Amino acid sequence: MTPRDYPTALGASSPTSITLLGHDLAADVMGEVGFGELAFWLATQRRPSRGEVRVFEAVLAALADHGFTPTAIVTRLTYLSAPDSVQGALAAGLLGGGSRFLGVTEDCGRFLAGVLKEHDPLPSDDAGWDALALETVTAWRESGRRVPGLGHHVHKDGDPRTPRLFEIAAEEGLYGPHLSLFAAVGRVHPRVLGRTLPLNGAGVCGAALADLGLPLELLRGFALLARTAGLIGQLAEELRHPVANDIFLSVDLNNRSVPPDPYGESHG
Amino acid sequence: MTPRDYPTALGASSPTSITLLGHDLAADVMGEVGFGELAFWLATQRRPSRGEVRVFEAVLAALADHGFTPTAIVTRLTYLSAPDSVQGALAAGLLGGGSRFLGVTEDCGRFLAGVLKEHDPLPSDDAGWDALALETVTAWRESGRRVPGLGHHVHKDGDPRTPRLFEIAAEEGLYGPHLSLFAAVGRVHPRVLGRTLPLNGAGVCGAALADLGLPLELLRGFALLARTAGLIGQLAEELRHPVANDIFLSVDLNNRSVPPDPYGESHG
Amino acid sequence: MTPRDYPTALGASSPTSITLLGHDLAADVMGEVGFGELAFWLATQRRPSRGEVRVFEAVLAALADHGFTPTAIVTRLTYLSAPDSVQGALAAGLLGGGSRFLGVTEDCGRFLAGVLKEHDPLPSDDAGWDALALETVTAWRESGRRVPGLGHHVHKDGDPRTPRLFEIAAEEGLYGPHLSLFAAVGRVHPRVLGRTLPLNGAGVCGAALADLGLPLELLRGFALLARTAGLIGQLAEELRHPVANDIFLSVDLNNRSVPPDPYGESHG
Amino acid sequence: MTPRDYPTALGASSPTSITLLGHDLAADVMGEVGFGELAFWLATQRRPSRGEVRVFEAVLAALADHGFTPTAIVTRLTYLSAPDSVQGALAAGLLGGGSRFLGVTEDCGRFLAGVLKEHDPLPSDDAGWDALALETVTAWRESGRRVPGLGHHVHKDGDPRTPRLFEIAAEEGLYGPHLSLFAAVGRVHPRVLGRTLPLNGAGVCGAALADLGLPLELLRGFALLARTAGLIGQLAEELRHPVANDIFLSVDLNNRSVPPDPYGESHG
């Protein structure tokens, strides 16, 4: 087989230089580019504006740590069990970043983008957005689907991150169609669902990331990046004020042996 | 068993508020705190200065992406094989962040910190640092250990990241004892080893992180945080300009069947 | 909060004994129960018959190793990069066990079970199965879905595992409705699709596992169990006849730097 | 660069056949080779005897599941959080298979093999083994190292797995030098340590695997293979009798916010 080559615009090095995204890493990136900015740049291969960085970093802050989530508990327990491998403890925590706990960001971004793609031209005022939102929420309700980004098990009367992210995006001139539609969903859904649910923080983060033009397939990836910083914080705290062994024992010492409950007995 | 409680200074929420590190997340963190700053804060529970953030983010930039490393290839191949799970592709890549490819940062930071801990008072001038470095490199050489942070398979005449990080740390007044000792190792090792090796970028990053007062047990964790951003960049590029299937085929189509080579035949 | 308890029928221990699935581990399981048998038992909480074990182990053998798959390459590269963590190398490989490379087993089992659930009574002869298969394949074709378990990129004229697993299941009296429907799909699909595709090995494994009464949600899990044995084999071979560094270099040395290709330029 | 080839004795396929370890997969492996036997064969590239399979499977049974260990809790929590990815839940659980909870098997096998390598000829009777064990335990004690395989936090007066595995190995004529030395350690250590500790099950498993001639670098891998079956059992039970959400809530609802505890304040 002929050898192939593998094109990339990311990191490259020669004996005397290292480039990243076409720039000299040492001279032009190190000391010049913030980490949020760099993460955005790596994902899009274009350097974001200051305003884009601010919105992006606000999203990362919103998603970095939510206390003793399953992902945080998993990272602490894995470190307890295998302290020789920090990479394993972080990876194990990230593996919980799936559909239920971190997936709302991506689901919401995709949901909004899907609706927008079908509507051209887009609404030009709040009344127009409300009409589109009403149509959308009604259609989702009728087909039995849950609208992503609505509801929160703790912040029942409003997630404090949501108005703040709307505000930051507006300040930076980055309040685009995804946020507009999401806000309209927040206004109109009580008329369809018969009760008022909060727009949750994970959802508004998805809307904001989509308005930043980030790839929809990777919205979950940004939530995972934020969470990596949070999990390092969890590990740092665990190292100094450990709780993982207590968590383990609180489960193990409360186990209760029950007889097997055979599955599929009728088969075979 | 009495229920325990689990203290934490990280994320916490009530129905109406979310706090992170004792601050109101929405009001005081989102839109106000950069992502590198937040990651530092989460890991140390103290807010870093602007200078500390600049050095920290320079380190993250230095470590974010090095092109087609094993970790990058692994993330792309895992995504090829399981595109339903972005978290799995990122976690798989991070699992390569062990002793060989990402571990130098931690090894070097620990090495320097270990030497410093044994020497009180610390040297006050370059001659003093050189003497300490000479003693250290000699001792390591005699016991057959490799000095971490020395040598690079590509940048044989100098890793461009190294002088740049020394410079940035000096600009910010954060050129502390770990960097001082590391620089001295760079000056004196040819006298002991009989050849001149470059101080590599991963090593200087470890020295700089240690001078920032970050926990030594987690230096690898910061390399992994940087790499998470890089791996998202790799995935984003893979989505648009895929190479993973070509990589897979370049291996699979060049496999060569050989007869089994029994191991441990003499046993049992 | 009141302490909860956590019921389980799996492993439990007291100072003087260990039980597993209600049996004395040392006396009744060790030395008495094969590993395939135990895996089945753990998953279903019922002890399988000898015939069930034979079919189950035939499936595991069929799925254990397929040479240089992405999962095998990933495990080898991760071990190259982080040789300190065998668990990381195995976990990284398993993370490729998703929808594309290992998922067919589960998809096919679920597909067949879904059809069977809708049809009561089930057919009693081949003509009846053919009619059901014809109706099913036609419906899937019309709704644009691919029928799971059909087609193979290498074994275009027939996957040798398929007839063998039908045979073993028949020998053990475990050729049930899932295998019957799958065989019928193999017979009738050319009439609908206009070409003849092989019934692939991953698909027939899913049908056989479903006929064994194993939980559909975990069919992928059994493929992963089989693959764990295969990945240990890959690591064992890598330790003695390493190829991972050559694979890495074949990619890295053939990288080609290209300019960034900005994404989402029009946004923001 | 010239294309390389990648030799392997594991799985290979042509359009009409699949071979595994040089045998026809469909004809000679499926239905003929048990799963424990296959795992051994894949790891060593030699087919084990019936006795070797029995000892090997007894080890796997001993290590498969120990109830609510950190690895089991992690797998259940990860599945709760990301139910879309069974592979992620299993991989997360395996990542806890490091030095503390699953590593004893490997540590003990390596320890015994290291001692044996230094002693030629090996003892020929119990008195000789006792002398070697006495010398070894004394030396380890003096250098402040813990002897692997001694002690258990629950089975303080004896781990029931240990005598059983000795017995099975003896029945199969596979009671070799590693088991002999381990048994002698059990007899003599009270004279050195001043108290009697049990030989634990993880340790005797390492000794038995080493006597089977399996590669020492992968002893942890076999523990992980056993545990994969156990974790599938945990997931299967979780699907039908879920406890992960209760575990999560028992931690989250008992969190206690404390003020940040700044680390490294004196630095920088």
Region C233-246: mean pLDDT is 97
The pLDDT value recorded for residue D267 is 45
Identify residue A25 by its one-letter amino acid code. L
Task: State whether residue A255 sits within 8 Å of chain C by CB.
Answer: yes
Determine the residue among B40, B76, B79, B87 to mutate to test chain A binding: the one whose Cβ has the most chain A Cβ atoms within 10 Å: B87
Which range has the worst mean pLDDT, A14-18, B20-24, B79-83, D6-10? A14-18
The pLDDT value recorded for residue B265 is 56
Which residue of chain C comes nearest to A51, CA vs CA? C268
Q: Do C8 and A267 touch (CB under 8 A)?
A: no
Q: Do A65 and B4 touch (CB under 8 A)?
A: no
What's the gap between Cα A107 and its chain centre?
A: 9
The pLDDT value recorded for residue D4 is 79
Q: Please, what is the end-to-end C-alpha distance for chain A in angstroms?
A: 48
The pLDDT value recorded for residue B87 is 96
Task: Give A144 to chain B, closest Cα distance, Å.
Answer: 23
Q: Return the H-helix or E-strand segment holding B8.
A: strand B6-8
The pLDDT value recorded for residue A266 is 47
B256: pLDDT confidence band, cut at 50, 70 and 90?
very high
Q: Do D46 and B263 touch (CB under 8 A)?
A: yes
The pLDDT value recorded for residue D234 is 98
**pLDDT > 50? residue C266:** no
As given in the structure block, the two tokens for residue C257 are 């730097």
Which range has the worst mean pLDDT, A88-102, A236-250, B33-47? A88-102
Q: Do A26 and B161 touch (CB under 8 A)?
A: yes
Contact B201, B62 (CB under 8 A): yes
Task: Give D122 to chain A, closest Cα distance, Å.
Answer: 34
C-contacting chains (≥3 CB pairs under 8 Å): A, B, D
Scan residues 75-104 of D and list those with Cβ closer than 8 Å to C. Answer: 85-88, 90-92, 94-98, 102
Q: What does the H/E/C string look like for chain C?
A: CCCCCEEECCCEECCCCEEECCEEHHHHHCCCCCHHHHHHHHHHCCCCCHHHHHHHHHHHHHHCCCCCCHHHHHHHHHHHHCCCCHHHHHHHHHCCCCCCCCHHHHHHHHHHHHHHHCCCCCCCCHHHHHHHHHHHHHHHHHCCCCCCCECCCCCCCCCCHHHHHHHHHHHCCCCCHHHHHHHHHHHHHHHHHCCCCCECHHHHHHHHHHHCCCCHHHHHHHHHHHHHHHHHHHHHHHHHCCCHHHHHHHHHCCEEECCCCCCCCCCC
* CA–CA distance, B235 with B241 (Å, rounded to integer): 10
Q: Do C85 and B71 touch (CB under 8 A)?
A: no
Chain A residues closer than 8 Å to C251 by CB:
6
The pLDDT value recorded for residue C264 is 72
Q: Per residue in A235-260, pLDDT tens?
A: 999 999 999 999 999 999 999 999 99
Which DSSP symbol is given to A217? G
Region B199-208: mean pLDDT is 97
* CA–CA distance, D8 with C238 (Å, rounded to integer): 9
The pLDDT value recorded for residue B268 is 38
For B262, list phi and psi in degrees, rounded to 5: -60, 140
**pLDDT > 60? residue B1:** no
Q: Per residue in A129-142, pLDDT tens?
A: 999 999 999 999 99
The pLDDT value recorded for residue B153 is 86
As given in the structure block, the two tokens for residue A151 are 């509801």
Q: Do A165 and B30 touch (CB under 8 A)?
A: yes
Scan residues 21-50 of D and list those with Cβ closer than 8 Å to C. Answer: 24-27, 29-31, 33-36, 38-39, 42-45
A101: pLDDT confidence band, cut at 50, 70 and 90?
confident
The pLDDT value recorded for residue A3 is 59
Contact B6, A251 (CB under 8 A): no
Task: State whether residue B239 sits within 8 Å of chain C by CB.
Answer: no
C–D: how many Cβ contacts below 8 A? 310
The pLDDT value recorded for residue A102 is 79
Tokens 């595709």 -> residue: C197
The pLDDT value recorded for residue C259 is 94
**pLDDT > 80? residue B132:** yes
The mean pLDDT value of chain C amounts to 94
**pLDDT > 70? residue C194:** yes
The pLDDT value recorded for residue B3 is 59
Mean pLDDT of successive 10-residue stretches along chain D, which has 268 residues: 81 91 97 98 97 98 95 97 94 91 91 96 96 97 94 91 98 98 98 96 97 96 97 97 96 93 67
Tokens 């003929």 -> residue: D32
Closest to B116 (Cα-Cα) out of B49, B213, B239: B213
Task: State whether residue B173 sits within 8 Å of chain C by CB.
Answer: no
Which residue of chain C comes nearest to A89, CA vs CA? C88
Share of chain B above pLDDT 70, in %: 97
Q: Per residue in C20-59, pLDDT tens?
A: 999 999 999 999 999 999 999 999 999 999 999 999 999 9
Q: Do B262 and D213 touch (CB under 8 A)?
A: no
CA C233, C48, D63, B89 dihedral sign is positive
Domains and CATH numbers, chain A: 103-215 (1.10.230.10)
Chain C residues closer than 8 Å to B245 by CB:
none
Contact B104, B206 (CB under 8 A): yes
Nearest to C74 among B74, B83, B240 (CB): B74
Instruction: Give the Cα-Cα-Cα angle B207, B209, B214 (nearest 5 degrees).
Output: 130
The pLDDT value recorded for residue D266 is 47
Closest to A214 (Cα-Cα) out of B240, B167, C132: B240
Q: Per residue in C81-140, pLDDT tens?
A: 999 899 999 999 999 988 787 789 999 999 999 999 999 899 999 999 999 999 999 999
The pLDDT value recorded for residue A100 is 81
The pLDDT value recorded for residue C92 is 98
Q: Do B248 and C98 touch (CB under 8 A)?
A: no
**pLDDT > 90? residue A7:** yes
Task: Give B117 to chain C, closest Cα distance, Å.
Answer: 27
Determine the residue among C1, C65, C75, C78 to mutate to test chain B binding: the one whose Cβ has the most chain B Cβ atoms within 10 Å: C78
Region B179-205: mean pLDDT is 97
Chain C residues closer than 8 Å to D43 by CB:
232-233, 236
* CA–CA distance, C71 with C206 (Å, rounded to integer): 20
Nearest to B85 among D85, D215, D258 (CB): D85
Contact D215, C239 (CB under 8 A): yes
Strands (E), chain A: 6-8, 12-13, 18-20, 23-24, 255-257
Contact C236, D222 (CB under 8 A): no
Task: State whether residue D212 sits within 8 Å of chain B by CB.
Answer: yes
Task: Give A132 to chain C, closest Cα distance, Å.
Answer: 21
Sheet holding B18-20, edge to edge: B12-13, B18-20, B23-24
